């Protein structure tokens, strides 16, 4: 699973739930002769997936509860494609082509608007599939760590969050962002590095650029985030580790103080 900064963090195969949406349970004495297929969840539905299941890439069938989006949740449904067969193989085929772009658009991610993000793919529960459900969920998720490991809880809808991010969705760090193995730190407290919400992007590449080329592009593409290049606040970027198959390379821009002094809390 690659770190795809421009459009997504990592492809997360979540076993996210469909519980509560037509689960098929019938407590009456008379049972229907033909099961009624479970209802597809609505776009904007939020889910409280148990952490063990949410972080297990091999757990595809689940029945976690829905929750109001103003409560803590770790997944939000963006689109619900119909499948010819509700299998893991079919869901994997559609993950990159459908979920990746659908979540990007839902969040508002583009070169000028970026927050750390990912997406989850899930199938109906096995019981729902047995009752005729044949679709998959594409959910917006947010990483718990800068290496894009784990899934964290958020509150509020994620729709458009890259365009107008709240502090809880912003990326702040206390180590150079080029060091991937580190936790996020709260942006509403002093911190050493803060994302600008923009990306530096190179296109049409046949090979990985030199360090000098990347440094020049950081200065060119990220510096508009600071008021003056002569002051103590400057910029850096965490570039993708490899050029994409389409010849693209991207990296989120960060500001920091050259003196080592922390940046003020973000409100």
Q: In what order do the strands lie in the sheet with 118-122?
A: 11-12, 118-122, 137-141, 75-79, 46-47, 66-67
Res 256: pLDDT? 95
| DSSP code, position 266 | P
Residues in the chain: 267
Res 21: pLDDT? 30
Res 36: pLDDT? 53
Res 38: pLDDT? 73
Q: What is the pTM for the complete model shown?
A: 0.81
Q: Report CA Rg, the chain.
A: 21
Q: Count how many Cα atoms sit within 13 Å of the Cα of residue 123 in the half-sphere of its side chain.
A: 26
Torsion, Cα of 123, 61, 50, 114 (10° steps)? -30
SS3 assignment, position 47:
strand
Q: Count how many Cα atoms sit within 13 Å of the Cα of residue 117 in the half-sphere of its side chain.
A: 32
Give residue limits of the domains in the chain. Answer: 1-20+40-166, 170-257
Which residues in the chain show pLDDT less than 50? 1-33
CA separation, residue 229 to residues 111, 149, 173, 256 (Å): 21, 34, 21, 12
Res 149: pLDDT? 82
Beta bridge partners of 110: 113
């Amino acid at each position: 699973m690659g770190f795809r900064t421009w459009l997504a963090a990592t492809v997360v195969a979540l076993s996210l739930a469909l519980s509560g949406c037509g689960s098929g349970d019938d407590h009456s004495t008379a049972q229907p002769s033909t099961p009624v297929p479970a209802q597809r969840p609505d776009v904007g539905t939020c889910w409280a997936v148990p952490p063990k299941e949410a972080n297990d890439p091999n757990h595809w069938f689940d029945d976690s509860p829905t929750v109001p989006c103003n409560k803590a949740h770790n997944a939000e449904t963006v689109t619900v494609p119909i499948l010819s067969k509700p299998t893991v193989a079919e869901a994997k085929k559609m993950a990159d082509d459908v979920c990746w772009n659908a979540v990007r658009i839902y969040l508002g991610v583009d070169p000028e608007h970026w927050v750390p993000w990912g997406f989850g793919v899930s199938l109906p529960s096995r019981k729902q599939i047995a009752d005729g459900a044949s679709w998959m969920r594409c959910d917006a998720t947010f990483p718990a760590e800068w290496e894009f490991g784990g899934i964290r809880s958020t509150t509020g809808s994620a729709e458009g969050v890259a365009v107008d991010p709240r502090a809880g969705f912003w990326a702040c760090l206390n180590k150079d962002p080029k060091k991937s193995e580190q936790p996020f730190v709260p942006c509403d407290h002093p911190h050493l590095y803060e994302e600008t919400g923009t990306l530096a992007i190179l296109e049409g590449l046949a090979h990985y650029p030199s360090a000098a080329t990347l440094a020049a592009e950081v200065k060119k593409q990220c510096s508009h985030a600071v008021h003056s290049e002569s002051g103590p606040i400057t910029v850096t970027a965490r570039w993708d580790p490899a050029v994409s198959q389409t010849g693209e390379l991207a990296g989120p821009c960060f500001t920091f103080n050259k003196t080592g002094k922390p940046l003020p809390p973000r409100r």
